């Protein structure tokens, strides 16, 4: 009995994941290889369609842009937060956690109010006389990127505050006492030590953007269709489940490949793990 | 600590980032309080009528209840299955294969949309299982990684020799679990419950495939409402959800301290 205690305890959760995730997801991917037209027909159709290729490329571009902006903003902000005095740090962390715990629909809706044709940004710019007529900001890649950066910056800040705080203070002081200027210390000590955390954060942002649904749906619409919105449309509007499954398979492969490659890279680049 | 100087430009940038983070939510609150029938900010006149409107709309009343029920049930399922799993991963690691802990992270790795679609296609349609069952287990899966991770973290600082002492003194395993182990990881259980609950309540990507006529959750209903009407009702529902977030943060602060969330 004791020999199997571990398995007995872990089995129910294991069954949940296997029965409701592994098997259904593998079954979805399996159906893309078993169409009457042949094992790779759905993929030839996917990559052969100019429209779907455009959606894939657009999704990658928007996700990369979101990740790049979130990494830069998140890192600089986390740097300041981690060096703030205790009370201020608590306030700033609360200000970052609050949006994070607020759902994606609410947060995308906020940008709908701001960027809409009669939205706050347009009416402000009109009142200031900077523009003559309302600009079309919604349903552009820019709107999707702004809202996604908004979604993911708190995650980046929190991840990096943790990383930056775990850098031993002795190292910074040693660098300074050996004569390094603050900028040199930052570039040669702080930044390299933060690289693994930056990679982990970037992976979270990229995969989150790459597979998102609500934000591109609300702020991008038909014009800025991304992989997630295309998959939903194929599955629930045109009821082409084979095409939707193909998109699902492509999303799974790209997501898992990025996670595996980047976490390996993060481990290799970790200067503390020598 | 503050003696190390930070460039003023960096501080100015940080101020802007936090305005960027909080500003949009302030705008949502302002819009919800407006007494106009269209969305506007700053509000023209103050009114709570859009809050009353939430409960006047049948679809919102129903989906609020469905969302609360699903979040509680999914979280409880994830706790009941996840706590023993986290315990086994810590206490009986040598008996278990290395891939098992990866398995419990899979719900985070596999895109939620793919999970939702697969549950619809292979569980709800293929097996003709009730759609609510698929929704519920989808949410339980979604929150399982949080439970396993948070409970594992609190077990890492638990001294298992206390448990062995209780067992060697004749305490039966179940009693040991409830009187020794559980009280020691109580804050972890609370944290896991809160994170799981808030994740489930806000979920769109799994739920979007597992809802339809007759069954919907609040975020999905919000999306549908937004596509048809652009009135302050959505803003006032958003404010309700933010109120929930405030309540959650208050509980976290009292039990664990908010810095917990930055770990």
DSSP letters spanning A81-134: HHTS-HHHHHHHHHHHHHHHHS-HHHHHHHHHHHHSTTSHHHHHHHHTTS-SS-
Rg (CA), chain B: 22
Are the Cβ atoms of A251 and B92 closer than 8 angstroms? no
User: Rounded to whole angstroms, how far apart are CA atoms A179 and B157?
Assistant: 39
Average pLDDT, chain B: 89
- The pLDDT value recorded for residue A182 is 82
CB contact under 8 A, A93 and B235: no
CA dist., res. A163 & res. B263, Å (int): 9
Is A205:A214 a contact under the CB 8 Å cutoff?
A: no
Q: What integer pLDDT is reported at residue B3 of this predicted model? A: 44
SS3 content of chain B, % helix, strand, coil (to 5): 75, 0, 20
Residues of A in contact with B126 (CB under 8 A): 27
Does the CB of B157 have a partner CB in chain A at under 8 Å? no
Dist. CA A68–CA A257, nearest whole Å: 19
pLDDT given for residue A172 in this prediction: 85
Residue predicted with more confidence, B262 or A220:
A220
CB pair distance less than 8 Å for A13 and B85: yes
CB contact under 8 A, A10 and B89: yes
pLDDT, tens digit, for every residue of B14-39? 999 999 999 999 999 988 888 777 77
Banded model confidence at residue A158, pLDDT cuts 50, 70, 90: very high
ipTM over 0.95: no
Share of chain B above pLDDT 90, in %: 56
Q: Which range (A71-75, A183-187, B109-113, B122-126) has the least confidence?
A: A183-187
Q: What is the DSSP letter of B215?
A: B
| Cα gap B165→B161, rounded to integer Å | 6
CB contact under 8 A, B18 and A95: yes
Query: Nearest CB to A17: which of B103, B121, B259?
Result: B103
Q: Which residue has the higher pLDDT, A272 or A89?
A: A89
* A171 contact residues in B (CB cutoff 8 A): none
User: CB within 8 A of B139, min separation 6: which ones?
Assistant: B70, B71, B74, B200, B203, B206, B207
Phi, psi of B111 (to 5 degrees): -55, 135
Q: What are phi and psi of B34, to 5 degrees?
A: -70, 150
- Tokens 């609950």 sit at which residue? B197
pLDDT at B51: 78
A233 or B226: whose pLDDT is higher? A233
pLDDT at residue number B103: 95
Residue entry with tokens 């206490």: B91
Please report the residues numbered 71 through 110 in chain B whose beta carbons come closer than 8 angstroms to any beta carbon of chain A: 77, 80-82, 84-85, 87-89, 91-96, 100, 103-104, 106-107, 109-110
Cβ separation of A21 and B110 shorter than 8 Å? yes
Query: Residue B206's closest CA among B142, B127, B147?
Result: B142
B44 in contact with chain A, both atoms CB, cutoff 8 A: no
Q: Are the C-beta atoms of A211 and A249 separated by less than 8 Å?
A: no
Mean pLDDT of A20-37: 95
Measure the CA–CA gap between A58 and A220, rounded to whole angstroms.
Answer: 12
Chain B residues with CB inside 8 Å of A150's CB?
A: 20-21, 24
Whether A244 has its CB under 8 Å from any CB of chain B: the answer is yes
Q: Residue A259, CB half-sphere, CA atoms under 13 Å: how many?
A: 18
Q: What angle do CA A95, A96, A101 make, to 5 degrees?
A: 100
**What is the pLDDT averaged over residues B124-137?**
95
Taking CB atoms and an 8 Å limit, are A13 and B104 in contact across chains?
yes
pLDDT level of residue A183 (50, 70, 90 thresholds):
confident
- For A223, phi and psi rounded to 5 degrees? -70, -35
- B46 forms beta bridges with B34
B240 touches chain A (CB under 8 A): no
pLDDT digits (tens, 9 = 90+) for B142-200: 999 999 999 998 898 888 888 889 988 988 888 888 888 888 888 889 989 999 999 99
- Beta bridge mates, B212: B215
Q: Are B54 and B60 in contact (CB under 8 A)?
A: yes
Q: Residues A125, A128, A130, A136: what is their CA dihedral angle, to the nearest 10 degrees? A: 20
Q: Hey, are the CB atoms on B6 and A80 less than 8 Å from each other? A: yes
Q: Which residue from A7, A55, A177, A229 is spatially nearest to B97, judged by alpha carbons?
A: A7
- Listed residue (A248, A149, A159, A262) closest to A208, CA to CA: A149
pLDDT in tens, B198-231: 999 999 999 999 998 889 999 999 999 988 887 8
Contact between chains at A113 and B235 (C-beta distance less than 8 A):
yes
**Phi-psi sector, B57: left (phi>0), alpha (psi -120 to 50), beta:** beta
pLDDT beyond 70 at A274 = no
Angle, in degrees to the nearest 10, between helices B49-56 and B58-91: 80
The DSSP code for A238 is: S
């Amino acid at each position: 009995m004791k020999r199997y205690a571990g398995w007995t305890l872990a089995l129910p959760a294991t069954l949940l994941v296997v029965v409701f995730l592994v098997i259904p997801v593998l079954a979805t991917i399996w159906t893309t290889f078993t169409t009457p037209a042949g094992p790779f027909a759905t993929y030839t159709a996917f990559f052969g369609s100019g429209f779907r290729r455009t959606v894939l490329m657009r999704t990658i571009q928007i996700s990369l842009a979101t990740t790049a902006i979130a990494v830069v903003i998140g890192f600089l902000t986390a740097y300041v937060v981690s060096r703030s005095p205790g009370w201020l740090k608590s306030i700033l962390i609360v200000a970052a956690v609050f949006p994070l715990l607020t759902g994606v629909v609410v947060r995308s809706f906020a940008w709908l109010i701001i960027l809409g044709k009669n939205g706050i940004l347009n009416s402000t710019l009109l009142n200031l006389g900077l523009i003559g007529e309302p600009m079309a900001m919604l349903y552009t890649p820019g709107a999707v990127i702004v809202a996604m950066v908004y979604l993911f910056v708190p995650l980046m800040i929190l991840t990096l505050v943790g990383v930056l705080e775990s850098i031993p203070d002795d190292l910074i002081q040693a660098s300074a006492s050996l004569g390094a200027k603050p900028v040199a210390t930052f570039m040669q000590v702080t930044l390299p030590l933060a690289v693994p955390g930056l990679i982990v954060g970037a992976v979270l942002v990229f995969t989150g953007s790459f597979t998102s649904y609500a934000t591109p749906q609300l702020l991008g619409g038909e014009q800025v269709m991304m992989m997630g919105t295309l998959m939903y449309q194929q599955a629930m509007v045109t009821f082409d489940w084979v095409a939707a499954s193909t998109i699902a398979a492509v999303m799974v492969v790209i997501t898992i490949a990025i996670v595996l490659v980047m976490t390996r890279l993060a481990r290799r680049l970790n200067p503390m793990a020598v | 600590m503050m003696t190390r100087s930070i460039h003023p430009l960096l501080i100015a940038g940080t101020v802007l980032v936090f305005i960027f983070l909080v500003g949009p939510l302030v705008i949502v609150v302002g819009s919800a309080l407006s007494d106009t029938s269209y969305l506007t900010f700053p509000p023209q006149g103050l009114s709570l009528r859009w809050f009353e409107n939430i409960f006047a709309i049948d679809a919102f009343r129903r989906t609020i209840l469905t969302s609360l029920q699903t979040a509680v049930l999914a979280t409880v399922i994830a706790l009941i299955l996840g706590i023993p799993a986290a315990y086994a991963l810590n206490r009986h690691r040598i008996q278990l294969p290395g891939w098992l802990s990866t398995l419990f992270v899979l719900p985070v790795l596999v895109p939620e949309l793919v999970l939702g679609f697969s549950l619809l296609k292979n569980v709800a349609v293929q097996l003709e299982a009730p759609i609510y069952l698929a929704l519920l287990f989808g949410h339980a899966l979604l929150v399982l990684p949080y439970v396993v991770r948070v409970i594992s973290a609190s077990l890492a600082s638990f001294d298992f020799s206390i448990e062995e002492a209780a067992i060697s003194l004749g305490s039966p395993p179940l009693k040991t679990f409830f009187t020794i182990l559980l009280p020691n990881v109580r804050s972890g259980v609370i944290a896991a419950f809160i994170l799981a609950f808030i994740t489930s309540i806000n979920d769109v990507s799994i739920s979007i495939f597992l809802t339809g006529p007759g069954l919907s959750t609040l975020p999905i209903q919000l999306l549908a409402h937004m596509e048809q009407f652009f009135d302050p009702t959505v803003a006032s529902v958003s404010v309700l959800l933010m109120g929930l977030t405030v309540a959650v943060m208050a509980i976290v602060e009292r039990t664990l301290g908010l810095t917990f969330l930055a770990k």
